[in-house]
Each structure stands twice: as structure tokens, then as C-alpha cells.
Structure 1
């Protein structure tokens, strides 16, 4: 029988503490990352980056360095420090256990592959979003931010060799998946579960925070769906690894398709937003729902067996 901590802070206070910790660590490592880039690439790097001048041949490498230090590392440290040293409950808040049915990884694979059409539909809906006239200033800022994010992404995903592709699979695919899942499906979703006492509410609230965190407003809806899928993977399995696997599949597929398109190995443009038909959108939705139900049933069976074994041992 698992003992509940006696002096655990309230969920609302946990969210406040984790938010302050995360912001502080991210700000600190942004400054460190900027300092490292200035020391290595020169002060002109900052000026070029502020103008979004990505013509410097050293810029992609500088962006990699900045990404690792100012984003990847702090997003890992915040949940790790919080779960390990503040609450001292890494098992509950990071969910690193491998005690889940491996078949869940197979089902998660097919869910992610089936989600492509629905993600495209949500992206198309999102792109047509128009704010009221009195919010035109906000809308213009959102569009500029989106354009800048796309330019940086294109610079990072410019791949001339297989090594470039493998490097992006590791950084953009695997590392990003691990650290973001530890933060969102690990710590934040656990806090939201305690706060709402409802799995669906916890999953979707965390998914909304996950999507908003990326500051890409015209990609909010598709990223919201992805966050929800990752959330159910973690919530129903009790482990962070199916969510990391799903996240890696999404990011890694984007990297691989982009590389193959750049090398003219395939004709599918990853930036094309009209690949599927209406029938494809409906089919995608139905398959995802069915596979999620299968995933939940298999995960529930594993948990029931574990509970029975635990009772017999007790």
C-alpha cells in the first residue's frame, strides 16, 4: 500500500512553486546561453539574431547551442529538481517506471501515424483564425512571432547530410521529447490531476499549457491535440515513456520527412497543409478514438493485474 505524504503542499501551491522555479531556471539559462554564444560566436551573433539575419553560416550551429542551453537543459532541470529535491517524490511526478505493457508502445505508434490527417485539419482551422479589429495589434504581433519561429525552425532543420538528420533526430526528436514530457506529462499533469481530481480535465488543461508554452499561436490547436494524446498515454499507462515515445514519433517523423524532401527523395512537402481529403479527416478521427480505447483497456488490464499481485503479496 502506497503511503501518501503527510505534509505535501496543496496542488495550487505546487503549481505556483513549480511555475516560479521553471521561469527562474529558464531565464537563468537563457542568459547563460546568450553569454556562451557571444563568447563563442561573437557579439555580432546577437545583433544578427535580433534582425533574424540567418545568412551567417555559423548561425545554425549557434542556434543549436542556444537551443540546448537556453531551452532543453532548463526544461529538464525544472521538473527534475522539483520532483527530486523539493517534493522528493520523483516516482510520482516523473513517472519513470517501465512497468507497463510493451504493446502500448505499438498502439501509440499507430495512434501517432493515424493522427497526421486530424492534425492537418486542426492546423488549417487554426490558420484561418481572425481576431476582432480591436485586437489587430495583438494579431500582428502573433503573426510576426510565428514567422520568426518558422525562420528559426527552418534554419535548424536545414540538413545537407545524413549526420545533420541524425543530429536533429537526437536533439529535436529525442531530447526535446524527453524534457518536455517530464515537465508537462510528468510534473504538471500530476499537479493538475491532484487539483481537478479528474483525468480528462488534467490531460486537457496540461495540453493547453503545453501548446501555449510553445508561443506558436497559429499552431495552438494541433499542438493541443498532440498534448492530449501524450497526456492519455501517460495517464493510462502510469509511465512517462509511452508519452515520450509518441512525442518522439511526432518530432522524429517531421525531421525525417523534411530531410527526405530536401534531398528530393520524396515529393511530399512537409509544409503542405492540404494533403488529405475530408474523408481522410473523418477516418483519422475514428481510428484515433478506437485505438485510444484499445490503449486504455490494455493499460487498465495491466494495472488490475498489478493491484491483484500487490494484494496477494501483502
Structure 2
């Protein structure tokens, strides 16, 4: 009954149901996560994490637990529950199929490889953002939010052994890529495609929501670009996995580069923002567009409901 009702509901209302379901699951698992930290590590450590005091050696394993329980699990669970409980065609929403040309893995790899200059350009532009004087309070909150997120990330990414690096590649690279792609490209983008009816608009709106979700405002533009690239990977292929692959490559590369820099194996700071020149920015943008066109052409070699304009759900 519920599946039939939701199937007959407008995409706008489906989107509302999706957001409410995600919010409920997110709050539930955040409560569970905080309770588990208090149970296993003590509430004093929980209070220290809240104050961004990471001096306790148990802080990092506690942060791992928080990351998995309060973020990774709800991000993955929400679209899966929505698709299998509230829709008659869950696979059409989640797009878990592996039936797409193998060349798409390779093309997605080169898109991510060549995107670095363009990401740097957008990041540099984003860093120059200044709000009007009457929004000083909001700007101050945005900077504090950015700094707090950076301090938490830096605490997790303190890696002393190869095992620490592998662990972060798995957690931040692999699990996060799966969870976020299933939520944003598997669930949200599908609903927005049915609602807006304009693929490019739906992809970029999803990418903007994806970027805003991270609450890192001075990295909004580069993350939105990445979200759009992942969106096109899914839309053209009809599968979530090329986007998961691209997302994994982006995150895992950052983790590995950070580890190598910490171990003084490389001299280039992964956080450096003035590596490329203007012609490399242009080259990056042009090649990405070309590769996306090639990706689309290769993907069109098979029947793709998304490309044929078929509504899902």
C-alpha cells in the first residue's frame, strides 16, 4: 500500500518524504553514536570532542566510531530504506547495476585525474568570498564552521603507519564514497530528475545540495563541481558505481597524499592552492568537457532509461 501511494505521489512530495526520512534516520543514528561514545569511551571524552579538544589518545578511535555511526550509516541507510520501503522500483532509484561499458571506469579515472587544476581554481575563487558587512555574524559562523571541520579532519588524518593510511582510505575513501553517492546520486538526483525534468538542472541542483551538506562554505564551489561530475557519471551510465569510483579516487588520493606528506615522502603540501597556472586551468576545463562527451558516447552504446527520458518510480 505504501509503495503504491508513494509511486502515485508527485516528485515534489517524494522529495519531501525523502528529506524527512533522511532527517529522522540521521538524528536517530546521531543519538546512537553519541550514546556509544559515552558508553565505550566515557562522557568526558565526548565533551572534549565537542570542545574540539583532541589531546586524549582515545579521541581518534572515538572519531572513527562517530564518523561511521552518525554519518556513513545514515547516509547509506536513508536512500536504501526509501527505495525498498517506499517505491515499487528500488533498483531504478539506487542504480546498483554493473551493466555498463568497462571503458567508463577508465574515462572516469582520467576525468578525476585531470580535474585537479579546475578544482584548485574554484577553491581559490571560493576563498576570496566576502559577505556584506551586515552579514558579519553569518560570515564569522561560516569561517568557524570551516575551521572546526578542518580540525576534526586533521585529527582523523594524523597517520603514523601504513595501516593508518589504509584504514583512512577504506573509511574516508571507500565507505564515504558509497554512502554519499547512494544518498545524493542514487536517491536525491533520481527524484529531482523526475521533478525538474531538465537533467542538467537536476544534476547541478543535487551537486549544490551535496556541497552545502558538508557545511564547508569556503570549499563549496570545488565540491559542487565534483558533485556535478559524479552526477553526470550516473546519469549517462545508468549506474551508481562510476560515481562511487570517481568519489573514491578523489578522497583516497587526498588521504594518500596527506600520508606521504606527513612521512616526508613528498614535498608538495596537499593543501597547497597555487600549484597550477592559468593555462592548466583552461586545459583542465576543456579536457573534462571532452572526456564527459566521450563518456556519454560510450555510455549510449547500451539502453539507458535515464538517457531515454524514462521516468523512474
Report the TM-score range of the alignment, normalised by the length of the smaller protein. Answer: over 0.9
- SS of 1:264 mapped into structure 2: coil
1:51-70 mapped onto 2 (5 Å cutoff): 51-70=51-70
In the TM superposition, what are the counterparts of 1:95-174 in structure 2 within 5 Å?
95-174=95-174
C-alpha change, 1:229 and 1:5, in structure 2 (3 Å) is: farther
Question: Contact 1:185–1:240 (CA<8 Å) still a contact in 2?
Answer: yes
For the pair 1:205 / 2:195, whether they are aligned, the reply is no
Q: 2:257 touches 2:270 (CA, 8 Å); kept in 1?
A: yes
Query: In the TM superposition, what are the counterparts of 1:28-43 in structure 2 within 5 Å?
Result: 28-43=28-43
Question: Could you say what secondary structure the match of 2:303 adopts?
Answer: helix
TM-score by length of 1: 0.94
Is contact 1:177-1:248 (8 Å) kept? yes
Q: Once the 2 structures are TM-superposed, how far is the Cα of residue 7 of structure 1 from its aligned partner?
A: 4.2
Residues 8-87 of structure 1: pairs in structure 2 closer than 5 A: 8-87=8-87
Deviates further, 4-13 or 56-65: 4-13
1:274 is paired with a residue whose SS is coil
Alpha-carbon distance in 2 for matches of 1:7, 1:104: 31
> 3-state SS of the aligned residue for 1:269?
coil
CA distance, structure 1, for counterparts of residue 51 and residue 6 of structure 2: 53
- Structure 2 counterpart SS, 1:244: helix
**Under a length normalisation based on structure 2, what TM-score does the superposition of the two structures give?**
0.94
Q: Write out per-residue CA displacement over residues 261-313 of structure 1, whole angstroms, 9 at most, x where no aligned residue.
A: 11111111011111111111111111101101100111112237xx9xxxxxx
Unaligned runs of 5+ in 2: 308-313
Task: Provide the rounded CA distance (Å) in 2 between the counterparts of 1:38 and 1:6.
Answer: 39
Q: Could you give the per-residue CA deviations for residues 202-245 of structure 1, whole angstroms, max 9, x where no partner exists?
A: 10010011001111111100000000000000000000000000
Contact 2:6 2:87 in 1 (8 A): no
CA distance in 2, matches of 1:302, 1:96: 16
Counterparts of 1:276 and 1:142 in 2: how far apart (Å)?
Answer: 27
Are the aligned partners of 2:7 and 2:87 in contact in 1 as well (CA < 8 Å)? no
2:285 maps to 285
- Structure 2 contact 7–88 (Cα < 8 Å) conserved: no
Residue 7 to residue 66, structure 1, CA distance change in 2 (3 Å): closer
**Uncovered stretches (5+) of structure 1, i.e. residues with no partner:** 308-314
- CA distance in 2: counterparts of 1:119 and 1:6, whole angstroms: 39
Paired residues, number: 302
Contact (CA 8 Å) 2:108, 2:242: kept in 1 or not? yes
Alpha-carbon distance in 1 for matches of 2:145, 2:275: 26
Secondary structure at 1:79's aligned position in 2? Answer: helix
Contact 2:6 2:14 in 1 (8 A): no
Distance (Å, rounded) in 2 between the aligned partners of 1:151 and 1:89? 41
**Equivalent residues of 1:8, 1:87 under 8 A apart:** no
CA deviations over 1:140-167 (Å, ceiling 9, x no partner): 0000010000000001111111110111
